[in-house]
Amino acid sequence: MPVQDKDVGHIITIEGGIADIRFAHGLPMIASRLVTLSDPEITIEVAGLPAHDIARGLVMNPTSDLRLGLGVRDTGGPLEVPVGDAVLGRMFNLFGETIDDGDPLEDVARRPILRDPVPLSERRVEGDIFETGIKAIDLLSPLERGGKAGLFGGAGVGKTVLITEMIHNMVAAYEGVCLFCGIGERSREAEELYREMGEAGVLDNTVMVFGQMNESPGVRFRVGHAALTMAEHFRDEQRRDVLVLIDNIFRFVQAGSEVSGLLGRMPSRVGYQPTLGTELAELEERICSTDRAAMTSIQAVYVPADDFTDPAATHTFSHLSASIVLSRKKASEGLYPAIDPLQSFSRMLTPSTVSTEHYRVARAVRNTLAEYEELKDIIAMLGLEELSEKDRATVRQARQLERFLTQPFFTTEAMTGTKGVLVSLEDTVKSCARILDGEFGDRDEGDFYMIGTVEDLDDKGGSDGA
């Protein structure tokens, strides 16, 4: 389509990642995609209209190629990304360009990255458990098919490892489409994940979208929406279930805060943008299940300085049906996955949704671990010997359970030298019930470390029921 003069403006200021563009004949809409009349094109997203003839935009690409006076064209709508079967097995950036080594996509349907969430009346709550094969999660914070789960933790406690393990365990058996969205993390991780998924042979059902830490705040802020547009197309047009994995949702909040700073908005609580709540809701509310198909999501959430009262963490908590909290203390003791069962929560763990036995065992495990937690102070002051026989038995069982809930991962095999295991929920429940029954008496707690089910204890020797 020939460019009409009325759609063209000129850059009048460039500052940081922000450019002001003067349009002589009418302004573009907020969130419109503008492109420079240069080669290569630079994308600018309209973020504000500070005067009757000026649009203020976020520059999505590196700004070094911009210059004053450069012509800018309004494309008349937001950024668009390709959708449909053509995206399966491919890796994309925010602009919908492929970033793997395959051929570029041509002649594919595209959809705008910004869309309103599905109305409440069309949403559906599933109520089935989504098994992960990871003992500590399936037993104590089961995920919901069609629900949203968060993996919370400070730096380096194992969020990425856990999400990669879930991909490994779930994607091969999953009949729907798996969509992975990387926001603001290391590019190396993206490349590794792509290679691993290719090797595992699950790439055909997978789409990956990345806006990593080296990219502009605008890209990191929008890439989650781009990924959801692709996911929604599978759910709505093809009626296929979708599993959306996001690493890391905190980086989305952080990008929003950077954008807000660039636009000169006054910060709010703890320096975050005043619009944190709405921005997060705009993204999270798009992740939902409908009558057409289920959209399940697992999101890693970085918790700055291990402070769980940080506004980014608390706002994210409120959108989730399950939150799995990773603890630095457990990680430092090598108890991986470093899940803190007392802090983690799932809406699914109720007598009406899980089996009676699962509920009973999960409650008993949690209570035993909670009692042990309370006894720790006394043990530190007086020593284990001062405890009553009953309390000593509780401590013994809790320490066995704590170790039993560790699990060797497939994705860390090369690092730990231990083969990964996947344990069904049924086996986890049975094993924990036997530990709670005291069947393993004084058996060394170390024997329970990094095993699958209690059947594996036989391989470790020693005497059962001593």
Ligand X SMILES: Nc1ncnc2c1ncn2[C@@H]1O[C@H](COP(=O)(O)OP(=O)(O)OP(=O)(O)O)[C@@H](O)[C@H]1O
Task: State yes or no: is 402 an active-site residue.
Answer: no
Across the strands, what pairs with 23? 9
Q: How far is the CB of 336 from ligand X (least distance, A)?
A: 3
Which residue's CB is nearer to ligand X, number 47 or number 161? Answer: 161
Q: What secondary structure letter does DSSP report for 157?
A: S
Q: Token pair of 114, please? A: 């910004």
- Taking the least distance from each CB to ligand X, the nearer of 248 and 368 is 248
**CB-based contacts of 429, cutoff 8 Å, min separation 6:** 139, 355, 357, 358, 361
CB of 339 to ligand X, least distance (A): 10
Catalytic residue selected from 6, 67, 186, 195: 186
Please report which helix (H) or strand (E) contains residue 35, including its range.
strand 33-36
Instruction: Give the distance, in angstroms, between the CA of residue 29 and the centroid of all CA atoms in the same chain.
Output: 31
Q: Please say which residue, 221 or 302, places its beta carbon nearer to ligand X.
A: 302
Query: Looking at 33, 111, 135, 159, which residue is catalytic?
Result: 159
- The distance of closest approach from Cβ of residue 363 to ligand X in the complex, given in angstroms and rounded to an integer, is 26
Distance CA 14, CA 38 (A): 16
Among residues 80, 185, 258, 279, the one annotated as catalytic is 185
Question: In 3D, which of 68, 404, 97, 379 has the Cα closest to residue 223?
Answer: 97
The contact set with ligand X (CB under 6 A) reads 153, 155-161, 302, 336-337, 409, 412, 416
**CB-count burial class (<10 Å; 0-12, 13-18, 19+) for 342:** middle
Reduce the DSSP state of residue 174 to 3 states and report it: coil
Whether residue 35 contacts residue 58, with contact meaning beta carbons closer than 8 Å, is answered with: no
Residue of this chain nearest to ligand X (CB atom): 158
Q: How far is the CB of 141 from ligand X (least distance, A)?
A: 16
| Closer by beta carbon to ligand X, 328 or else 430 | 328
What DSSP string runs through 278-317?
A: HHHHHHHTT---BSS--EEEEEEEE-GGG-TTSHHHHHHH
Active site annotation includes 148: no
Whether 185 sits among the annotated catalytic residues: the reply is: yes
Separation CA 113–CA 44 (nearest Å): 14
Binding residue positions: 153-160
**What residue type is 348 in one-letter code?**
M
Least Cβ distance, residue 156 to ligand X (angstroms)? 4
In the bound complex, what is the minimum distance in angstroms from residue 244's beta carbon to ligand X? 18
Nearer to ligand X, 156 or 465 (CB): 156
Which residues are annotated binding-site positions for ATP? Answer: 153-160
Residue with tokens 């949704």: 353
Closer of 156 and 441 to ligand X (Cβ) = 156
For residue 192, give both structure tokens. Answer: 């590794």
Q: Which residues are marked as active site?
A: 159, 185-186
